Chains A and B, each alone.
Chain A
Amino acid sequence: GENVEQHPSTLSVQEGDSAVIKCTYSDSASNYFPWYKQELGKRPQLIIDIRSNVGEKKDQRIAVTLNKTAKHFSLHITETQPEDSAVYFCAASPGNQFYFGTGTSLTVIP
């Protein structure tokens, strides 16, 4: 089955700096790559996603890049704000199920 690895497990940045989270996957059949933000005690919320026919997607301060050849994808958050502090999960989907990474705890220091 699919195996998703996510790095780093924790990340601290100063407010206004950029944050980058990287994920790799193993199943070449995966064609959908969502990113979720989960605040403490809350449900995961989709923040951005990318499909396999696209290399990059941007939504305001958030962007995702996908390299299908290398089987890796990354989340980029620019101009970070304290409210960006949360746990972020990447996922890969080869069809009817999502395989999640182990999460990155992002702390934005004011």
Chain B
Amino acid sequence: ETGVTQSPTHLIKTRGQQVTLRCSSQSGHNTVSWYQQALGQGPQFIFQYYREEENGRGNFPPRFSGLQFPNYSSELNVNALELDDSALYLCASSLAPVGPNEQFFGPGTRLTVL
């Protein structure tokens, strides 16, 4: 078990709603990255948080936002949900934001937008 946890496991929302997903990093890890994995695709980088600051962002619109807390847990918020937001959302924690550092993935949150 890697120690990274996510909640909730599954979530169903309707278009236009807002959603908050949560991630607890592995003990000792100060960096959390969020990924969106559509069905049959590889994970796509959304953004990364390091010491409560955003530290890099992928090609996602501003309605995808995040937070990191002093205990290094993190939230992903998505506003104005669209059907294409349906995916598995993965968070991954690592020891540091730069350099060749292994990322440990959580089990993911399956979001369905109807």
Report which residue of A32, A97, A98 has the largest number of chain B beta carbons within 10 angstroms of its beta carbon.
Answer: A97
- Are the C-beta atoms of A44 and B43 separated by less than 8 Å? yes
B48 close to chain A: CB less than 8 A: yes
A97-B33, A97-B48 as given contacts; A44 in contact with B56, CB under 8 Å:
no
B58 close to chain A: CB less than 8 A: yes
Partner of A103 from the list B41, B48, B50, B107 (CB cut-off 8 Å) is: B41
Shortest CB distance A104–B (Å): 10
The bracket for how many chain A residues form the interface is: 20 to 34
> CB within 8 Å of A: which of B68-108?
90, 92, 97-108
Partner of B43 from the list A1, A6, A89, A95 (CB cut-off 8 Å) is: A89
- Are the C-beta atoms of A43 and B100 separated by less than 8 Å? no
Instruction: Select from chain B the residue with minimum beta-carbon distance to A103.
Output: B42
- Are the C-beta atoms of A43 and B107 separated by less than 8 Å? yes
Task: Report the Cα distance A93→B33, complex, angstroms.
Answer: 13
9 nearest CB pairs, A to B: A32-B100, A100-B42, A43-B105, A96-B56, A97-B45, A96-B97, A51-B100, A43-B107, A100-B43
